[in-house]
Every structure is written in structure tokens, then in C-alpha cells.
Amino acid sequence: MFADKGPAFQQLAAKIADEIVAGTYPEGTAVPSATDFAVFHQMNPATASKGVNLLVELGALYKKRGIGMFVADGARDLLRSQRREEFRKQYIEPLLREARVLEIDDTELHHMIDEHEEDET
């Protein structure tokens, strides 16, 4: 749902979602208003509202009338499970496609992942 190169409102929603998952905006706390996001990212205010509303529809944010926009309880888990779905599409599928082009078989691919993990640690 939050493709990197989608329309601007989707990109904004993805950025806010990133911050919620990272814990920058903890559950139950306020996030900046759509207007603040618009000025900060130098984007159209209507577009920013659309991006924020995407997360409201998803249930990750909710509006308190007259006060502002807040991170819903369970928003992190909600967004994380959404991302896991995306992970398959965005990373696994292209990985396997490229592996086929380069004639890397499954054993070798698994080996490369293990090797990389060892390098990381």
C-alpha cells in the first residue's frame, strides 16, 4: 500500500507510518497537523491532508475534535503487519526474479543470505 514512488500523499503516509513504527510518535501521543506536515515537507496542504487521512482510514491515527491527530493504540503492530505483507512484494519477489536472471539457485541464495548475516554481526 505504501509504495515508495507512489503519489505524494502516499509517500507522506509512508513517512508518518515509518515514524510510528520507529517509535518517534508513540501510541497515544499527538502527531503534527496536516498543515504542519505540509509546511515541513513543502507540499500542498490538501495533499498532506489526504496522506494523513489515509492513516486515519487505516486506523493508525485518530482525530480528537478540536485538539488534533493522535496515534491509535495498536498502531505499531497494525503497521508492522501491513509492512510484512509489503516485504514479500517489494523485496522477496524482485530478489527471486534477479536471482533467476543471474542463474543463482536456491542453495546459493540461501548461502548468500547466511553469509551476509555473518558479515553483519
Partner 1 sequence: MTNAIDIRSATRTFGRTTALDGVSFAVPEGSICGLLGRNGAGKTTIMSIIAGQDRPTSGRVEVLGHGPFENESVLSRISFVRDNQRYPDNYRLGHVLRIAPEFAPNWNADVAAELAEGFRIPTKTDIKKFSRGQLSSVAIILGLASRAAVTLLDEPYLGLDVTARALFHDMLLRDYTAHPRTVLLSTHLIEESEKLFDRVVVVDRGRVRVDSDVDDARDLAFTLSGTTAAVDELARRHTVLRSHTVSGLKSVTVLGAMDDAVRADADGLGARIAPASLQDLVAAFGEESSESIEEGARA
Q: What is the contact surface with partner 1 in residues (CB under 8 A)? A: 7-9, 35, 38-39, 41-47, 50
Q: How far is the CB of 34 from partner 1 (least distance, A)?
A: 9
Q: How far is the CB of 41 from partner 1 (least distance, A)?
A: 7
| Backbone φ and ψ of 68, nearest 5° | 150, -160
Closer to partner 1 by Cβ: residue 56 or 72 = 56
Q: How far is the CB of 5 from partner 1 (least distance, A)?
A: 8
Name the helix (H) or strand (E) containing 10. Answer: helix 8-22
Closer to partner 1 by Cβ: residue 35 or 113 = 35
Q: Please answer whether residues 64 and 33 qualify as being in contact, where contact means their C-beta atoms are separated by less than 8 angstroms.
A: no
